[in-house]
């Protein structure tokens, strides 16, 4: 993982290759564009950038449909807070660039 210097909005930029474990099958998530192409909701203006606030890395899976923990997964993302305190702030926004499993341009 690489952290760049803060930009004008004092946001650190994280670039990382993410591989999640889904039960016993490991996978790399698709970027927003590829996910929308697959579901038929493709929009060329969709972002490949994921923004998140956090303090500890946390895998998050939000779903709808089904019941309880068996709900159909609709969105997977990572939330993370880095231990870099900001003066007068308790939360910092970060952006992370995902490596898409489809090896599209978003992976560059």
pLDDT of 39: 55
19-22: long-range contacts at Cβ-Cβ below 8 A with a sequence spacing of 24 or more? 20/59, 20/76
30: pLDDT strictly greater than 50: yes
Higher-pLDDT residue of 89, 14: 89
pLDDT digits (tens, 9 = 90+) for 78-87: 444 344 445 5
Q: How many CA atoms lie within 13 A of 36 on its CB side?
A: 11
- Quote the mean pLDDT of the chain: 45
Q: How far is CA 96 from CA 4, 25, 39, 58, 65, in A?
A: 11, 23, 23, 14, 28
The pair of structure tokens assigned to 9 is 């909005």
What whole-number percentage of the chain has pLDDT above 90? 0
Cα separation of 78 and 90, whole Å? Answer: 19
104: pLDDT strictly greater than 50: yes
């Amino acid at each position: 993982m690489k952290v760049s210097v803060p930009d004008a909005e004092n946001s650190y930029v994280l670039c990382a290759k993410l591989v999640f474990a889904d039960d016993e099958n490991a996978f790399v998530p698709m970027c927003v564009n590829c996910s929308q192409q697959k579901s038929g909701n493709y929009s060329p203006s969709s972002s490949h950038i994921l923004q998140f606030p956090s303090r500890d890395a946390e895998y998050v899976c939000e779903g709808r449909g089904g019941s309880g923990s068996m709900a159909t997964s609709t969105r997977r993302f990572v939330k993370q807070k880095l231990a870099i305190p900001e003066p007068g702030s308790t939360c910092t926004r970060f952006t992370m660039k995902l490596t898409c499993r489809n090896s599209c341009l978003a992976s560059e």
